[in-house]
């Protein structure tokens, strides 16, 4: 046990201070405090010693130098039962400090509110992290409290131990303290690398703040949690249904990445195991859901639906006819929520706050991790018509839509579409020809494929996520009724592919970029 006789309090966030001050008075704990904290404690009707009076040294440089003083750090860092330390402290007239309560300047909040470089720099805390690290290092004797959320735990500890803290408590608080100083420093270093656009620096620090423990990982016997980078809030809101699992979040963000690439407030995406099994970007909202579902109703069963618009009563009624795990919408009408909540386990997700602002993709493999920048550009500048037959404006737009969906399908990927709606998706095969066969087979299983043709006299388009190395894929697609194909260039047989497309009378468009997804 370590008796708390003297506490140093220096906090930017002064909320809940009164709760601990009451307990300090009860156990006659002397308080040293700095600047604004000293004023706040006085306002609350409690006594403390002003830090500058304790050190006999004024605060300097507009408060940049306050706690960086030998009387403070020696008081914190002196080891318990060390005769040499005790003698040096006595000779220098330095008192021991047993408890440090500190939180930092709000750096993360500042960069969210302003781009003013000078303001951001002034909110980099120096003294605070130094105090925290010193106290956490010497947790054998000193108690460190970093967060106001731990005030209640401190109060409980002091009451239980009559003004003392246990080694276990101090060690637990030290662990939290080091996590928070590391997190704080990571936010600062990430700010500078983002400023310089140095996304692959010599040392890469990835930080996350836990949002929640999940139901389970990829399988029920695995534990999992979700974290946000740099303390950002979760950008989706669960309105109802069971707690989400690792796979649920993976599917949700896979669906949202496709939805966000569709025209504003347009389109429906259905995802299963992070692969799209139906996508439609037609403007009519109910029609887009029906067409997305029609693409592969067998795979859609038990999947998740992402509507890139607000879900109304009519669409909710149609959705409720099938078993889905999750429904995502940019808001829900009250009547829609009432209908969907009839299935108590169905999760409803509001995605209005979701933004595709991710710059770097991270994949972890054992003791290593891979980083890459994300490129989701689908502008027409990336494409070149290479066939003799030129596509109509509508056909080219449909090809680009098809290719955009293809980017989100696991490789090897082949996507067939008609009328801005997928009719066949082949994914995750080692052979491209196998993905081709799967996409055609899925299309042929659609009971009312003619409905696609009747609604719009649109060509059957195909997209591949990488170049076709041989002409067999083109031949197979052409025999299935495909009249327009889009694929990345880059094969040594590109000329052979172009010549074969011309021989078959196909529209062929090359993409300047390849989009594998593994």
Instruction: Report, as residue numbers or ranges, the catalytic residues.
Output: 137, 273
3 state SS of 26: helix
Q: Look up residue 61 and give its DSSP letter.
A: G
Backbone angles phi, psi at 426, to 5 degrees: -110, 125
Contact between residue 395 and residue 418 where contact means Cβ atoms under 8 Å apart: no
User: Can you tell me the distance from the alpha carbon of 264 to that of 287, in angstroms, rounded to the nearest whole number?
Assistant: 16
User: Can you tell me the distance from the alpha carbon of 170 to that of 100, in angstroms, rounded to the nearest whole number?
Assistant: 11
Contact between residue 401 and residue 390 where contact means Cβ atoms under 8 Å apart: no
Instruction: Please report how the helices 432-444 and 472-479 are oriented relative to each other, as an axis angle in degrees rounded to 10.
Output: 0
User: Can you tell me the distance from the alpha carbon of 199 to that of 25, in angstroms, rounded to the nearest whole number?
Assistant: 50
User: Can you tell me the distance from the alpha carbon of 81 to that of 96, in angstroms, rounded to the nearest whole number?
Assistant: 12
User: Can you tell me the distance from the alpha carbon of 318 to that of 320, in angstroms, rounded to the nearest whole number?
Assistant: 5
3 state SS of 53: helix
User: Can you tell me the distance from the alpha carbon of 421 to that of 281, in angstroms, rounded to the nearest whole number?
Assistant: 6
Contact between residue 517 and residue 408 where contact means Cβ atoms under 8 Å apart: yes
3 state SS of 398: helix
Q: Look up residue 59 and give its DSSP letter.
A: -
Greatest Cα pair distance, the chain, in angstroms, is: 97
| DSSP conformation letters of 111-165 | HHH---HHHHHHT--SHHHHHHHHHHHTTTT-EEE--GGGHHHHHHHHHHTTSEE
Contact between residue 403 and residue 396 where contact means Cβ atoms under 8 Å apart: no
């Amino acid at each position: 046990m370590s008796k708390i006789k003297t506490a140093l309090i220096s906090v930017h966030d002064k909320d809940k201070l009164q709760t601990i001050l009451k307990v300090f008075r009860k156990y006659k704990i002397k308080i040293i405090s700095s600047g604004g904290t000293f004023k706040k404690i006085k306002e609350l009707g409690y006594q403390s010693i002003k830090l500058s009076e304790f050190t006999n040294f004024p605060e300097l440089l507009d408060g940049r130098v306050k706690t960086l003083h030998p009387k403070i750090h020696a008081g914190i860092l002196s080891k318990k039962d060390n005769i040499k330390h005790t003698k040096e402290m006595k000779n220098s007239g330095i008192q021991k400090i047993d408890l440090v309560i500190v939180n930092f300047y709000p750096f993360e909040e500042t960069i969210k509110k302003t781009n003013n470089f000078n303001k951001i720099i002034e909110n980099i805390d120096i003294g605070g992290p130094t105090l925290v690290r010193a106290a956490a290092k010497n947790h054998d004797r000193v108690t460190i409290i970093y967060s106001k959320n731990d005030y209640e735990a401190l109060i409980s500890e002091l009451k239980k131990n009559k003004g003392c803290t246990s080694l276990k408590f101090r060690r637990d608080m030290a662990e939290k303290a080091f996590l928070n100083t590391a997190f704080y420093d990571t936010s600062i270093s990430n700010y500078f690398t983002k400023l310089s656009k140095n996304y692959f620096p010599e040392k890469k620090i990835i930080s996350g703040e836990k949002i929640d423990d999940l139901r389970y990982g990829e399988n029920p016997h695995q534990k999992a949690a979700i974290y946000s980078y740099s303390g950002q809030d979760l950008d989706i809101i669960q309105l109802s249904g069971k707690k989400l699992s690792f796979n649920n979040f993976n599917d949700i963000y896979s669906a949202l990445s496709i939805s966000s690439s569709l025209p504003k407030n347009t389109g429906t995406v259905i995802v299963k195991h992070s692969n799209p099994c139906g996508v439609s970007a037609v403007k009519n909202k109910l029609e887009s859901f029906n067409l997305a579902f029609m693409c592969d109703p067998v795979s859609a069963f038990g999947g998740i639906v992402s509507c890139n618009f607000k879900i109304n009563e009519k669409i909710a009624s149609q959705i409720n006819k099938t078993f889905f795990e999750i429904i995502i919408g940019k808001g829900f009408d009250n009547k829609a929520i009432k209908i969907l909540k009839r299935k108590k386990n169905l999760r409803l997700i509001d995605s209005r706050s979701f933004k595709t602002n991710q710059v770097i993709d991270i994949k972890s493999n054992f003791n290593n991790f891979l980083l890459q920048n994300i490129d989701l550009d689908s502008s027409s500048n990336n494409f070149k018509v290479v066939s003799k037959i030129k596509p109509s404006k509508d056909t080219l737009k449909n090809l680009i839509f098809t290719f955009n969906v293809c980017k989100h399908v696991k490789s090897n990927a082949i996507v067939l579409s008609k009328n801005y709606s997928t009719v066949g998706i082949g994914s995750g095969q080692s052979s491209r020809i196998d993905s081709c066969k799967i996409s055609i087979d899925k299309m042929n299983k659609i009971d009312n494929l003619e409905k696609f043709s009747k609604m719009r006299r649109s060509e059957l388009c195909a997209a591949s996520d990488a170049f076709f190395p041989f002409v067999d894929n083109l031949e197979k697609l052409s025999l299935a009724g495909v009249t327009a194909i889009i694929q990345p260039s880059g094969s040594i047989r590109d000329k052979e592919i172009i010549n074969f497309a011309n021989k078959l009378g196909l529209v062929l468009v090359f993409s300047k970029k390849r989009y594998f997804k593994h």
